Amino acid sequence: MARELVGAVAESMELDRDYVEEALELKSSFQKFGGNFYPPCPEPDQTLGLPAHNDPGLFTILLIRDGLPGLQIDRQDQWFEVNPPPNSMIVNMFTNGRCKSSRHRAVVNEERERMSIAVGNGPGKDVMVGPAAPLVERDGRTFYRSMKYVQYVESQLTRAYNGMSILDEQKI
């Protein structure tokens, strides 16, 4: 399924279907699996299920079992509810500025438990990630610096929260 998804993403950006898989050496990729359980909370306004963050992978597939609200995305410093239908998938991905990973968080509710499963995918740790050459050619310039994927993930996971995403910090 992931290969078909990556191919579809590449095609949506007018790249060759195999471009992303080859450029990012996805045969040497990693996958991170996380299950999330959010019990009912008597004071939901006092607790977050997961704090605001951007996913560090190439793309994240989020499976939502029950369709209950709880996932929120940040748009210009305002939080919006994502209301997925039961048994849905949400794909959150980052690209060279064309599709950005949404800053998001999970909130709890007072009445019902909620569950989700997140599967994050990324290239191998030593793969250089950066703007796709065909997109740079089309745009006429590079919008982000290239770096080894391990550097990207480490900076995403180890630095103190400063209100700025690594993608914003990497802008030229």
Which of 6-10, 67-71, 74-78, 149-153 has the highest mean predicted lDDT (pLDDT)?
74-78
Domains of the chain with CATH codes:
2-170 (2.60.120.330)
Between 164 and 87, the more confident residue is: 87
- CB neighbours of 62 closer than 8 A, spacing ≥ 6? 71, 89, 90, 91, 92, 116, 117, 118, 119
Arithmetic mean of pLDDT, 69-92 = 80
Q: What is the dihedral of CA 74, 100, 9, 51, to 10 degrees?
A: -50
Comparing CA positions, the residue from 154, 118, 147 lying closest to residue 38 is 118
Between 57 and 32, the more confident residue is: 32
Between 79 and 169, the more confident residue is: 79
- The 10s digit of each residue's pLDDT in 102-115 is 788 889 988 888 88
pLDDT-based confidence at 88, cuts 50/70/90?
low
**Residue 152, token pair as written in the block:** 């990207």
Between 81 and 66, the more confident residue is: 81
Please state the pTM of the whole predicted model: 0.69
Question: Which pLDDT value is given to residue 79?
Answer: 93
- The 10s digit of each residue's pLDDT in 7-51 is 887 888 888 888 877 887 777 777 778 888 889 999 988 887 888
Concatenating the DSSP letter of every residue in the chain gives -HHHHHHHHHHHTT--TTHHHHHTTGGG-EEEEEEEEE---S-GGG-EEEEEE---SSEEEEEESS--S-EEEEETTEEEEE-PPTTEEEEEE--SSSS-PPPEEEE--SS--EEEEEEEEE--TT-EE---HHHHHHHTS--B--EEHHHHHHHHHHSPP-S--HHHHHB-
